[in-house]
């Protein structure tokens, strides 16, 4: 029986683990991909206090090593169901059940896809959702990045240092990215920005050869070797739809103390309904939830 099971090993989940371990609680963190979360995919983090600049991979590993060194138990696997019996939770992973007095859900998001028939066929064969993971495969080649937020612009900047040419394709006129990122992008001579433009198809046999673009009533084909997609994400909450209340977009509803309507069940990080989703807000969520878990355990 654990004091807390944390589903998701990103910054929010690992911060919660660190606080609970400091309080001498027995903690299990379950992660299905990589401990450290989406921050591992960031080429350079410059908005986390204490580090003027640090690679996302390095920072994510520091979170994990700190928690592990404090006695955190960890498990790789996908949670397939969560139920509650009396005063404890049952978490199912690969047909194994784990029991806990409380549960912190920090499972994060997964990337949104482009909506045309050929897209899925090229995932892993030229289509990528992570520039820092796969950018090296496209050294001295031509790629396109789809999106208009901070992630898309950051991806284009990162790839501009590796690739011969980078197209940044955004369906709107205005970018959602921060002005400082846009300014850096304008200084890159090998980046071509295409606004009010939509990718409607990917062409190729064994590998990507072209993408089809549409701007108003005009269509155009451009030669590219890879497509990097950064158009937002979907919360990983499908297993919770009949367990805790979700909003219309699938995000978990919590109060100010990150409690859900199920006693002992807390939600933190990108997976919950909130306005700002940043590394620092994820860490804040983890802190608050861990303290509230301690209060809950003391009261029950």
Active-site amino acid positions: 130, 133-134
Alpha helices by DSSP H, listed for the chain, are 11-22, 56-69, 131-134, 150-160, 179-186, 279-299
Task: Report CA-CA distances (Å) from 129 to 70, 82, 135, 258, 276.
Answer: 33, 28, 10, 29, 21
Short-list 163, 158, 155, CA closest to 138? 163
Could you give the angle at the alpha carbon of 100 between the alpha carbons of 95 and 104, nearest 5°? 95
- Give me the phi and psi of 73, to 5 degrees please: -90, 140
Q: What is the 3-state secondary structure (H, E, C) of 239-259?
A: HHCCCCCECCCCCECCCCCCE
CB 126 within 8 A of CB 208: yes
CB 211 within 8 A of CB 203: yes
For the chain, state the CA radius of gyration. Answer: 21
Contacts (Cβ under 8 Å, ≥6 apart) of 272: 251, 252, 253, 254, 258, 285
**Tokens matching residue 153:** 């612009």
Distance CA 67, CA 16 (A): 9
Short-list 187, 137, 183, CA closest to 162? 137
């Amino acid at each position: 029986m654990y004091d807390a099971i944390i589903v998701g090993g990103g910054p929010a989940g690992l911060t919660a683990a660190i606080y609970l371990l400091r309080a001498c609680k027995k903690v299990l963190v379950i992660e299905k991909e990589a401990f450290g979360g989406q921050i591992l995919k960031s080429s350079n983090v410059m908005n986390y206090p204490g580090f003027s600049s640090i690679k996302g991979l390095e920072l994510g590993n520091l979170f994990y090593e700190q928690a592990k060194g404090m006695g955190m138990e960890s498990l790789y696997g996908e949670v397939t169901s969560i139920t509650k019996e009396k005063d404890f939770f049952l978490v199912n992973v690969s047909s194994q059940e784990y029991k806990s007095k409380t549960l912190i859900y920090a499972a994060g998001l997964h990337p949104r896809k482009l909506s045309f028939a050929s897209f899925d066929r090229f995932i892993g064969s030229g289509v990528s959702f992570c520039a820092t993971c796969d950018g090296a495969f496209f050294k001295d080649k031509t790629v396109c990045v789809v999106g208009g937020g901070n992630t898309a612009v950051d991806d284009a900047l990162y790839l501009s240092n590796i690739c011969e040419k980078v197209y940044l394709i955004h369906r709107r006129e205005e970018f959602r990215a921060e002005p400082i990122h846009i300014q850096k992008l304008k200084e890159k001579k090998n980046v071509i920005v295409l606004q009010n433009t939509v990718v409607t198809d990917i062409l190729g046999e064994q590998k990507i050869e072209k993408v089809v673009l549409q701007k108003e009533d005009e269509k155009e084909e451009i030669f590219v070797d890879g497509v990097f997609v950064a158009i937002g994400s979907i919360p990983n909450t499908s297993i919770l739809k009949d367990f805790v209340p979700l909003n219309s977009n699938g995000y978990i509803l919590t109060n100010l103390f990150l409690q859900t309507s199920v006693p002992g069940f807390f939600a933190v990080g990108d997976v919950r309904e909130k306005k700002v989703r940043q590394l620092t807000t994820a860490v804040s969520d983890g802190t608050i939830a861990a303290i509230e878990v301690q209060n809950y355990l003391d009261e029950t």
